Amino acid sequence: MSVELTKQEYLEHLNKHIYLVSLAWQTIQEKLLQTNLLTKEEYHKVSELIKVHDASKLSDEEFMPYARYFYPHEDLDKEQVKKEFKQAVMHHKNHNLHHYETLSKYVGPDYHCYIIEMVCDYIAMGWEFNNYLFEYYESNKDKIVLPPTYQQYLNSVLEVLKDPSLHMIEEPLKIKEYKNKKS
């Protein structure tokens, strides 16, 4: 695989993920508003966050390390690729509050917004990798360390998302829908 093909493959993957995060947001926003887990002001902030979700993955610090890790193009030093990828992941988490590692250190009145973005990210990854929201959360909740008020809010959001009307968040998304969206 050439360097250009590696870049193209990773960019397609990233675009797909961003689209799925947006679709997850579209799927849950009404329920969060109805249950008063999100104010109109927070709704608008989350909408803006979703528009720029994972934008740091386009940075010099992240793009090629992610691309080479997921779409290797030649006989690269595998240890060097892993090392650069780990650095890129750290950079990503340090620059994005929707990751609990960074959110856990954040103090601000808008933490709800970052938790919602995190949940949308988890839903999108579930659709991509068949490790759905509640399954993912159950298997990782011991690692997800947040301040008590943040954790309580996350638990409230997860409880609301168990509503049967939102069953789509735990079912695979047909890739055909994504391909149709791209056309």
Residue pLDDT, tens place only, 136-153? 899 889 999 999 999 999
Q: Percent of the chain, pLDDT > 70?
A: 92
N- to C-terminal Cα separation, the chain = 25
Question: Any idea which of 53-62, 72-81, 133-142 has the lowest mean pLDDT?
Answer: 72-81
pTM summary value: 0.91
Alpha helix (H) residue ranges in the chain: 3-34, 40-51, 63-70, 78-94, 100-103, 111-129, 133-140, 148-161, 175-182
Per the structure, the count of domains in the chain is 1
Q: Which domain holds residue 164?
A: 3-182
Q: What letter does residue 163 receive in the DSSP assignment?
A: S
Structure tokens at 44: 């608008």
Residue range 17-29: mean pLDDT, rounded: 94
Residue 2 confidence class, pLDDT cut points 50, 70, 90 = confident
pLDDT of residue 178: 55
What residue type is 8 in one-letter code?
A: Q
